[in-house]
Structure 1
Amino acid sequence: MKIIKVLIVLVILAVIGITFWTYRSLNGPQAHNKSDQFITIPPGSSPNQVIAKLTSEGVLSSEIPLKVYLKVNGGATEIQAGEYQFKSPITPLEVLAELKNGKLRTVRLTVPEGFTRFDIAKRIAKQFPQDQTGSEDAVLELMKDVSVIKDIAPQAKNLEGYMYPNTYDLSRSVTTPAIIEKMVVEFKKHWKPEFADQAAKLNLTPHQVITIASLIETESRFDDERSIVASVIYNRLKKGMPLGIDQTAVYIAKMEGRWDGVINRSDLESNSPYNTRKVVGLPPGPISSVSESSIKAALYPATTNYIYYVLNVDKNDKSHKFYATEAEFERGKAAYQAWLAKQRR
């Protein structure tokens, strides 16, 4: 009987000791040397695999306390894959809380309004070099897959104009096709169902509307001015005048891989169908990414008799002055050229 009592006492003491040790271990901060590094927990990892990995990395001093805690309290299924940066020191319970919240290390990709597919491809290739499809040419090749926009623009030859300008927080492991798809999905959020109806009222296809919107996007940075720029484009189209938008020359140079940051005479004299100085009508497709503001301007242009515009030197803020006659335009252009010459002195 005495032996049984002693054994019971020993068991009780052992349970108390283990409980105390487990409690202390779970709540005791553990210092480690990985606080400046990201530790990746792959998808599909079991709780035991996660605990073993963190123990081998030194974030946990022992596997047992956290395994016991999960066995008694549950919560193993709440552990999420991700990329974690654990502070030091940190307790096992704090580690578990982090694992339940789930963390993904992201890369921020910013696509400004007016970026071309060439600009976007260059930025993707630079920011996601770990992707095997991440070379600039490979990204451009992926942008030729227009199946994702066939419901909007079945005649499109590439995704120019259909990748929405925005800031995207993306996983470091994201693939280039997924990035492109995300930008197209974002575009579709901004292309409202009623826009197609309005395009039809203008006797335009959605692709033509996006093309006009891209011209507007490259010409004006001000939302309240874009509908006026749109009116100039429509007025010139009605009169059979070349649109004369120099950004199409920039686009030609980028397509031909010779853009050096300056519009050269050869760019303006190109026989490309995108050259709006020589070819009457719209270019074959968009020349840049477009914002919803520019799409709306293309769909709902202001009613004016303007057919010219020049940068407003009085404001010097990249806004424009608009003109209905060539004589007015020539005076405005002369004032702009005089201002420009003065800036170069």
Structure 2
Amino acid sequence: MRGRGTWWRVLPVLVVLALGAGGLWVNSPPPTAKAVRVVLPTGSGSLRIGQNLADAGAIRSAWAWLALVWVRGWQNDLKAGTYEIPPGRSLIAVADQVRRGETLRFRYRIIEGWNLAQMASYFEQLGYFRTREFLALTSGPGMIRPAWLPEGLDRLEGFLFPSTYELPAETLGARAAVNQMLSTFEKTALPLWRARVKPARSLKDWVALASLIEKEAAVGEERATIAGVFANRLRLGMPLASDPTVEYAFGIRQTADTPLTYAQVLKPSPYNTYINPGLPPTPIASPGLASLEAALAPALTPYLYFVARYDGTHVFSRTEAEHEQAKRQIRAERRAGAGAAPQAR
């Protein structure tokens, strides 16, 4: 009798310890060293979600999951989507991730001044989708055409707003990315142009001018002045003579050691602003907000010319004689090892 009494006193303690150990086990992370990716379909109940997570190796027990969710009152808070569960994440942490809807998302960043070809290459390098998929939706007969897009365009160049974006795994694709960038342009850039009672330029020409400013201005403080130079030359009917339009036209890129040649700047193309008056037929890159604003409000400046020092700044000139002197000075600095060959406007 004495032994039996001792046993019954010890038994509850053993049960509590066993339950505690079991609880620690089911809450502990599964033995995996890699992140687990799992899809939780829309409309799945708590148990089904737990089974999907357990089958994927993200948790140890679907029933422990169900018990936890009900005890916490989270059964109606669980979010569908694609999840990536890091290794070492406990049952409670996984449940909290699904409750918060922290799904797998893919981030991308479009840099100010990128063109469609650069974007397409970037997306393929990320492994998100192929170059041809992106270009098929941004140029040619199959391109996406929002209602606000100017008529007659054969490409979306300039209208894919540069910014940092995220897409959920379920919708990752070229179409979703293009629509996301177009939507941001509509919400961020388009209101600036529409706010003008009488815009000085059409929507297409505004973005085209802004794209030239974006490509020319490496220093933010010079944007408005560069815009002013272009505005002056447009007003006087002078060619804009912008090197980036030649680079865009022929898919080339000049450097300090290999500047554009006379043959290149005289080569026929609708985009070559050395030989064609006015703006190029479309934008040549995606301008950022600062360049779009500069195109709307160019500085009142006496300058008609500028030449790049290749350190990000420019020398601005009123006359062609001053401009030629500035180029000679920069060449002399280049020969002395203090600079680089000049880019002229």
TM-score (norm 2): 0.81
CA distance in 2, matches of 1:73, 1:305: 70
Q: Displacement of 1:208 after TM fit?
A: 0.6
User: What is the aligned partner in structure 2 of residue 139 from structure 1?
Assistant: 134
SS of residue matched to 2:247? helix
Q: What are the within-5 Å matches in structure 2 for residues 1-345 of structure 1? A: 25-28=22-25, 29-44=27-42, 45-71=44-70, 74-80=73-79, 81-88=81-88, 90=90, 92-129=91-128, 134-144=129-139, 145-148=143-146, 150-173=147-170, 174-198=172-196, 200-202=198-200, 204-254=201-251, 263=260, 266-312=263-309, 317-343=311-337
Q: Displacement of 1:264 after TM fit?
A: 5.3
CA distance in 2, matches of 1:341, 1:98: 61
SS of residue matched to 2:198? helix
Describe the shift of the 1:61–1:106 C-alpha distance in structure 2 as closer, same or farther (beyond 3 A): closer
Describe the shift of the 1:155–1:20 C-alpha distance in structure 2 as closer, same or farther (beyond 3 A): farther
Q: Displacement of 1:266 after TM fit?
A: 4.8
SS of residue matched to 1:298? helix
Q: Displacement of 1:158 after TM fit?
A: 1.6
CA distance in 1, matches of 2:330, 2:20: 77
CA distance in 2, matches of 1:35, 1:85: 11
Aligned amino acid, residue 105 of structure 2: T
CA distance in 1, matches of 2:36, 2:60: 18
Aligned amino acid, residue 308 of structure 2: L
Aligned amino acid, residue 285 of structure 2: S
CA distance in 2, matches of 1:62, 1:119: 47
Residues 306 and 322 in structure 1, CA contact (< 8 A), matched pair in contact too: yes
Residues 158 and 284 in structure 2, CA contact (< 8 A), matched pair in contact too: yes
Write out per-residue CA displacement over residues 214-267 of structure 1, whole angstroms, 9 at most, x where no aligned residue.
Answer: 01110002232111111111111122211110100111123xxx6697645553
**What runs of 5+ residues in structure 2 fail to find an aligned partner?**
1-10
CA distance in 2, matches of 1:70, 1:291: 46
CA distance in 1, matches of 2:317, 2:56: 69
Q: Displacement of 1:185 after TM fit?
A: 1.4
Residues 248 and 275 in structure 1, CA contact (< 8 A), matched pair in contact too: yes
SS of residue matched to 1:200? coil
SS of residue matched to 1:109? strand
Q: Percent identity?
A: 25
Q: Displacement of 1:273 after TM fit?
A: 0.8
Q: Displacement of 1:328 after TM fit?
A: 0.5
Residues 82 and 169 in structure 2, CA contact (< 8 A), matched pair in contact too: no
Please give the root-mean-square deviation of Cα atoms over the aligned residues, in Å.
3.0
CA distance in 2, matches of 1:210, 1:93: 51
Aligned amino acid, residue 267 of structure 1: Q
Residues 70 and 76 in structure 1, CA contact (< 8 A), matched pair in contact too: yes
CA distance in 2, matches of 1:172, 1:270: 45
SS of residue matched to 2:167? strand
Aligned amino acid, residue 318 of structure 2: A
CA distance in 2, matches of 1:108, 1:194: 27
Aligned pair count reads: 319
